[in-house]
Amino acid sequence: MNKIAKQTVRSGKGTNGKFLRGNRYSKGRKKGSKDKFTDLKKSFLEAFEKTGGIDGLVKWIEESKRNRAIFYQMITKLFPLTVEHEGKIEHKLKFDFDENSE
């Protein structure tokens, strides 16, 4: 078994970094405990609304190129790193060349 495989088995995580079903290393959040991420999300949304909501965000973005760059950096963090797709994708490439150009 290679070094990475040994670490994966010991950590109870699969190759994708997620815990394997039935692992003994993580019992998860205890029943009745608060979900801190949900509280953080609610607080963030409340602050967003208090600072102008969408209109305030748009105004801030338009104030400078730096703000626009910061916005784009933040928005990319909201998208998933990978997207899985099952199915068939059909795409045909067509190149049109002008016969007179070199």
Q: Report how far residue 28's alpha carbon sits from residue 5's, in angstroms, rounded to the nearest whole number.
A: 23
Work out the percent of the chain whose per-residue pLDDT is above 70. Answer: 75
In Å, how far from its chain's centre is CA 14?
A: 19
Q: Model pTM?
A: 0.46
Q: Which of 35, 39, 19 is nearest to 27 (CA)?
A: 19
Domain count, the chain: 1
Residue 91 is assigned to a structural domain of this protein: no
Q: Which domain holds residue 40?
A: 3-26+36-76
Inform me whether the pLDDT recorded for 10 exceeds 60. Answer: no
Residue 89 is assigned to a structural domain of this protein: no
pLDDT digit string, tens, across residues 32-54: 777 777 888 899 899 999 999 99
